[in-house]
Amino acid sequence: MNIEALARPEIVAMQPYSSARTEAPARGILLNANEAPRSLLAGAGLNRYPDPQPQALVERLAALYGTRPDQVLVTRGSDEGIDLLTRVFCRAGRDAVLICPPTFGMYRIAAQSQGAAIVSLPRSPANGFRLDGPALLAALRTDPGIKLVFLTSPNNPSGDGVGQELLLELLEQARGRAVVVMDEAYAEFCGLPSSAALIDEHENLAVLRTLSKAWAAAGLRCGAVLAQPGLIALLRRVIAPYPLPSPVIALALRMLQDDMLERQRQLLAEVARNKTALLETLAGRTFLCEVIPGEANFVLARVGGGVNSGADSAADPAAALLAFCAERGVILRGFPAEPLLRGYIRITVGTREEIAALSTLLDEWGQRR
């Protein structure tokens, strides 16, 4: 299969933009990019454009994720990767994106922005919103318009992972028809192997990674798309000329030095311990009908009657608890725009002190019921 056959014809045919930094390295006397001759901040070098795909960072991310450098595209977080994939593979009014809500909302936003149709396979609250593999396979068999399949492993907000057996079935079913996108933003928190190991054998697989979660660098906005070189080349046709600012590149390289690996492992262990403490805090709360632990750095819980109380309930059962906590400085996540998550709240695993503060508020809330 040639991955270009799945891409929008106009993307394949277009002449991509060639920046000054792409055409010539940042050496010598640089008079080719209309840059300022010096930086206003001494020594910062901010008067110069950064490398479009900084080689040192690409190589470091490739080593981290077990791929080759030519299988890596550095992006502004996973969000940019989602947008690029949708723009490259989906023709407005003709192609479709397959999603399994409740899941990360940017898949839908990217599809709507591109004018792509959305094929939605809702997860069921009856089984903790776990992925319905047979329904996914059936949709791919019966809908030739699907060009992208977005999956999150572990899923946000249900926390369940995608097993490799199902992924292999999906990749085979989608061969020559669609690209399967595995969003592994939370992969470091679970025990499942990364699907990046399958890239060499599957031209229609794209994997999204980020430094935002397990690397504690959400403020950097640094992520990557991992895929075969042909797919990466298509994305490079539409990516911004200089996606990552120079300070972000420098900080990301510092974050990924060998001496930081042990600190990152310690952070993951701390999150695992604190998640146990959070689950203990939530256990036995009579106003919580369900707690879904998941395999990431958050927990999903249902307040009151939740989705099973009927569509004509007067108000979201979680709204009052969310407001109560927010008024006292503890911010939890509700989902007022997602009918499937009516009554649910998502709680990020914080520090022990933050969990203790939440526990105190939940005690107070329980006494008011």
Is residue 191 domain-shared with residue 64, that is, in the same domain? Answer: yes
CA 99 to CA 149: how far, in whole Å? 6
Per the structure, the count of domains in the chain is 2
Q: Are 266 and 241 found together in one domain?
A: no
Per-residue pLDDT tens digits for 225-270: 999 999 999 999 999 999 999 999 999 999 999 999 999 999 999 9
In the block, tokens 């608890």 appear at 321
My answer on whether 42 and 145 are in the same domain is yes
The model's pLDDT over 24-65, given as tens digits with 9 standing for 90+, comes to 877 889 989 999 999 999 888 899 999 999 999 999 999 999
> Same domain for 100 and 229?
yes
Are both 233 and 281 inside the same structural domain?
Answer: no
Q: Are residues 155 and 232 in the same domain?
A: yes
Statement to judge: residues 222 and 294 lie in one domain: no
Q: What is the pTM of this model?
A: 0.95
Q: Which of 256, 281, 313 is the last residue of a domain?
A: 256
Q: Are residues 225 and 129 in the same domain?
A: yes
- The answer to whether the beta carbons of residues 190 and 60 sit under 8 Å apart is no
H helix intervals, the chain: 9-13, 20-23, 55-65, 77-89, 106-114, 133-142, 164-174, 229-236, 246-255, 258-282, 319-327, 352-368
Both tokens of residue 281?
């805090």
Structural domain range at position 182: 3-256
Judge if 50 and 158 occupy the same domain: yes
Residue-wise pLDDT for 199-213, tens only, equals 999 999 999 999 999
pLDDT at 314: 52
Distance from C-alpha of 120 to C-alpha of 206, rounded to nearest angstrom:
20
178 and 319 co-located in one domain: no
What CATH number has the domain bearing residue 144? Answer: 3.40.640.10
Angstrom distance (rounded) from CA 130 to CA 158: 7
Same domain as 104, residue 29: yes
CATH code for position 363: 3.90.1150.10
Q: What would the 3-class secondary structure string for 56-115 be?
A: HHHHHHHHHHCCCHHHEEEECHHHHHHHHHHHHHCCCCCCEEEECCCCCCHHHHHHHHHC
The answer on 181 and 52 residing in a single domain is: yes
CA distance 266 to 59: 24
- Consecutive 10-residue averages of pLDDT for the chain (369 residues): 94 92 84 92 89 97 98 98 99 98 98 98 96 96 97 98 97 97 98 95 98 97 98 98 96 96 97 98 96 98 64 71 97 95 98 98 92
